[in-house]
């Protein structure tokens, strides 16, 4: 069975704090892809990153960084020096197999950044 | 480049009615996905269309159906609406990663 767990329902931080959003996944496939999406209050899901199962290299994009560890089946997302505009619901998602297929989403983590 | 577009933005229907939601993918994308985001249920996969054919279907009753047109746009049809169909319906298109539209918020009263 495929599953994505985001144990943190809601996180509140003050601006400029660093924050890490956890994501744990389950799959029996050896080839799979992991994603993070941001959903601001407007409702639209904004694509942030895609990683494949063969690439465990961590990635940094500006204030965003991702830590992929197959040993712990985790794909955590860190925002450095958080800003009020980072306030949103963040979803981790998984798709398995060689073909683009349905995304299996976690339940999301609501991040609130206060000024 | 234009993103995924969906129409209408909001919709209010009565239980038992039928509704059609529309989605236009990003130019060049042949795959279209539909997801339902209902309160308390998270994001659930509904349907996947590629090259005009239904490729996969989520765990939803047959009254949820759709189609994809030759220009790759798609429709989602929901018959015999129930109160629990109230949700945000999101469409995505893909050539690899899925890019989402703004969604259609459906309220069933």
DSSP A39-94: E-TT---EEEEEEETT----EEETTEEEEEEGGGTEEEEEESS--GGG-EEEEEEE
CA gap B70, A88 in Å, rounded: 36
Instruction: Give the residue-averaged pLDDT of A30-40.
Output: 93
Instruction: Give the residue-averaged pLDDT of A5-34.
Output: 95
pLDDT digits (tens, 9 = 90+) for A101-113: 789 999 999 999 9
CA distance A108 to chain B (A): 8
A36, A29 contact by CB (below 8 A): no
Residues comprising chain A, all counted: 115
Instruction: Give the residue-averaged pLDDT of A82-90.
Output: 97
Average pLDDT, chain B: 94
Instruction: Give the residue-averaged pLDDT of B54-62.
Output: 93
pLDDT at residue number A100: 59
Pick A47's closest partner by Cβ from B33, B99, B103.
B99
Place of tokens 């577009």: B5
pLDDT greater than 90 at residue B97: no
pLDDT greater than 80 at residue B96: no
> Is residue B95 very low, low, confident or very high in pLDDT (cuts 50, 70, 90)?
confident
Q: Give every CB contact of residue A107 below 8 A, 6+ residues apart in sequence.
A: A5, A6, A9, B42
A20, A111 contact by CB (below 8 A): no
Q: Give every CB contact of residue A67 below 8 A, 6+ residues apart in sequence.
A: A58, A74, A75, A76, A77, A78
Least confident of A34-43, A87-96, A99-108, B86-95: A99-108
pLDDT at residue number A101: 75
- Chain B interface, mutation test: which of A100, A104, A105, most B Cβ atoms within 10 Å? A100
Bridge pairing between strands A109-114 and A10-14: parallel
The neighbour count for residue B29, using CB atoms within 10 Å, is: 18
Q: Is residue B98 less than 8 Å (CB to CB) from chain A?
A: yes
pLDDT at residue number B1: 67
- Chain A interface, mutation test: which of B42, B46, B105, most A Cβ atoms within 10 Å? B42
pLDDT greater than 60 at residue A98: no
A29 vs B86, more confident: B86
């Amino acid at each position: 069975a495929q599953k994505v767990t985001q144990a943190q329902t809601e996180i509140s931080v003050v601006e400029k704090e660093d924050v890490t959003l956890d994501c744990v996944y389950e799959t029996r496939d050896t080839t799979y892809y992991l994603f993070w999406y941001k959903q601001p209050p407007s409702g639209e899901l904004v694509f942030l990153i895609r990683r494949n199962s063969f690439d465990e290299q961590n990635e940094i994009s500006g204030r965003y960084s991702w830590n992929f560890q197959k040993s712990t089946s985790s794909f955590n997302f860190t925002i450095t020096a958080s800003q009020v505009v980072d306030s949103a619901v963040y979803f981790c998602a998984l798709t398995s197999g060689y073909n683009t297929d349905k995304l299996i989403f976690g339940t999301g983590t609501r991040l609130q950044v206060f000024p | 480049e234009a993103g995924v577009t969906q129409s209408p933005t909001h919709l209010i229907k009565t239980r038992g009615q039928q509704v059609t939601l529309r989605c236009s993918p990003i130019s060049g994308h042949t795959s279209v996905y539909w997801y339902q985001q209902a309160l308390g249920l998270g994001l659930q996969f509904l349907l996947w269309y590629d090259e005009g054919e239904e490729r996969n279907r989520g765990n939803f009753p047959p009254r949820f159906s759709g189609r994809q047109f030759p220009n790759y746009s798609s429709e989602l049809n929901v018959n015999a609406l129930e109160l629990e169909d109230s949700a945000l319906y999101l469409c995505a298109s893909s050539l690899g990663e899925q890019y989402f539209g703004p969604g259609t918020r459906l309220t069933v009263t």
